[in-house]
Amino acid sequence: MAYSPERVAERAFAFDGTVTGIGPAQTNHSPAPVPLNLRSVTFRVNNWFKGGSAGTAVVDMDAPDAGSTTAYRIGTRLLVSGMPRWGGAPLTEAVAWGCGFTRYYSPSTAAAWATATGHK
């Protein structure tokens, strides 16, 4: 699926957040023989576009050293969107999507996400 702000609006959650913690993945309990190279990332949420209202969010993401186009560390500000890995509520075992659906923060992209999600 190709990225666009309109496609972000189709995800279960989307927010502007700053990384405050990185730990072991929370969603790697599939019967698949090889778990994904994920880390559980805690964010201080600066702005919700969709799917939540709390001041923090915990989302599994590609490990910061996994060759992802969005490397991160504590203090990195990102625009994050995704889906619950195994179904359910938006932030139940949430996984951030890559390929543009999670990206470095920029005011213009945040404005496009706000418009696309109807969050003014």
* Residue 96 belongs to domain with CATH number: 2.40.50.120
Domain assignment of residue 13, yes or no = yes
Domain assignment of residue 84, yes or no = yes
Domain assignment of residue 118, yes or no = no
Structure confidence at residue 91 (pLDDT): 93
In this prediction, residues 78-83 reach a mean pLDDT of 96
- Does the pLDDT of residue 23 top 80, yes or no? yes
Structure confidence at residue 64 (pLDDT): 87
Range of the domain at 45: 5-26+35-107
Q: How confident is the model at residue 68 (pLDDT cuts 50, 70, 90)?
A: low
Domain assignment of residue 116, yes or no = no
- Does the pLDDT of residue 96 top 90, yes or no? yes
Q: pTM for this one?
A: 0.91
Q: How confident is the model at residue 98 (pLDDT cuts 50, 70, 90)?
A: confident
Q: How confident is the model at residue 104 (pLDDT cuts 50, 70, 90)?
A: very high
Structure confidence at residue 70 (pLDDT): 74
DSSP strand pairing (103-104 vs 77-84): antiparallel
Q: Quick check: 60 and 41 in contact, CB under 8 A? A: yes
User: How many domains does the chain contain in total?
Assistant: 1
Q: Quick check: 96 and 13 in contact, CB under 8 A? A: no
Domain assignment of residue 112, yes or no = no
Domain assignment of residue 117, yes or no = no
